[in-house]
Amino acid sequence: MKKENFQKLIEVISSAIEALPNPPRDSIIKEFEKIKEQVMENRPPRIMIIGRRGAGKSSLINAIFDQKVAEVGPVVSETGESKWHYFKNKKGEIHILDTRGIGDKTKPESANFEEAIDEIQFSVKERCPDVILFLCKAKEVDSHIEEDLKNIELIRRYIDKVHKYNCPLSAVITQVDELDPIRVSEPPYKHPNKQKNIDEAVYTIQGAFKDSGLDLIKAIPVSAYAEYENGEKVYDKYWNIDVLVNFLMEILPNTAQLQLARLSSITRIQVKFARSIVGSTAIICSGIAATPIPVADMIPITAAQVGMIIGIGHVSGRDMSKESAKEFIAALGVNIGAGFALREISRALAKIVFPGAGHAVSAGVAFAGTWAIGEAAIAYFIQGKSIKESKEIFNKVKEVKNNAHDG
């Protein structure tokens, strides 16, 4: 997304917010800053993946992107020296610190260090990871991983020392498809014995972290197996990859969430992220509309709604302009001028019937309208619904939100 598509909109909205009284100015500014971080100041997420040789680091990277990014070695370790890998396409970019397996004594000729831990610390000093994922094969969760966890603690302490950052840590239990019974190799693994063994692997890794004194946030079992021919995926048995990506979205900084949502191409995650934009924008528009001082609020409200649509389109993987966003609003049958007149009439009537209520009525109209436009945009750009279906969603959501406000 070209930042110039957003910059003018940001300036218009910012000026209107600054003119608001306090309250609600401070709370509106908080929502506004959140959107600016997520959309305007977005950067590639930085994920550190660490684990023993054969734990499935490269396979997991490929599964997250649903695309072959890292080479997978069936016999010999393919990771090589620890280094940051930069994956980039038209949707965005992500930085992965793919480490040489802990305990892997295969030293590449290009390595400058005797031990993997030294290589990792060098890479961490270069760039601070947002999160550490410790990978462990499901069949090896009880295979003396204490030394691995000690190394992770050393790395986290080094990150804190160099970057003053308490890096969050999660365990990813890989290759759950290889747990007994082997014949149940296709997800969703609902066989009772298979699920029991998966649960046992999770419980065991959680216990190991607890015994080591490491503050593990979550243990997530996954299957990331896939086969490729000529660089194209021809088969996979992915399981729980969406759960892992959703977890990452929750713990990543606001500035690093957008590109992961785009790159993952997982609809429910994109919808969830887009709705956070919708919620914040609705609050902003509601606050502007409710101001008791003379402000030409229709311009910043429209700017915020246009910006919201551009943001939602961007989450879906599209690059949009102000013009295309306005065309979408028009396609919904939303007449900005009529809406403004109706809002002003409602405000005037409310002042006559119940003095002081006009601003609340205006705020409710702005909130409901913004939320309805946002849901329609999500339906069209992310969920792939037709403009007719999106328009129906707009009318339904607007009615529900208005009724909720009136109630």
Q: pLDDT digit string (tens) for 14-54?
A: 877 887 777 778 888 988 888 888 887 889 999 998 888 78
- Which three-class secondary structure state does DSSP give residue 81? coil
Confidence at 99, pLDDT banded by 50, 70, 90: confident
Distance CA 179, CA 20 (A): 60
How far is it, in rounded angstroms, from Cα 8 to Cα 307?
10
Is the pLDDT score of 150 beyond 60? yes
Residue 322 has pLDDT above 60, yes or no: yes
Looking from the CA of 15 toward its CB, the CA atoms found within 13 Å total 12
Q: Determine the Cα–Cα distance for residues 49 and 120; give it in Å rounded to an integer.
A: 10
In this prediction the pTM is 0.81
**pLDDT tens, position by position, 245-269:** 999 999 999 999 999 998 888 999 9
pLDDT, average across residues 172-195: 94
Look at residue 91 in the predicted model and tell me its pLDDT. Answer: 77
The pLDDT, as a whole number, for residue 293 is: 52
Q: What is the pLDDT of residue 343?
A: 45
Q: Write down the pLDDT at residue 104.
A: 54
The maximal CA–CA distance of the chain, rounded, in angstroms, is: 82
Among the listed residues 66, 89, 63, the one whose alpha carbon sits nearest the alpha carbon of residue 222: 63
**Nearby residues of 37 by Cβ (< 8 Å), 6 or more positions away:** 253, 254, 255
Q: How confident is the model at residue 79 (pLDDT cuts 50, 70, 90)?
A: very low
**pLDDT over threshold 90, residue 354:** no
Identify the structural domains of the chain with CATH numbers, from first to last.
4-42+264-406 (no CATH), 46-251 (3.40.50.300)
Give me Rg for the CA atoms of the chain: 25
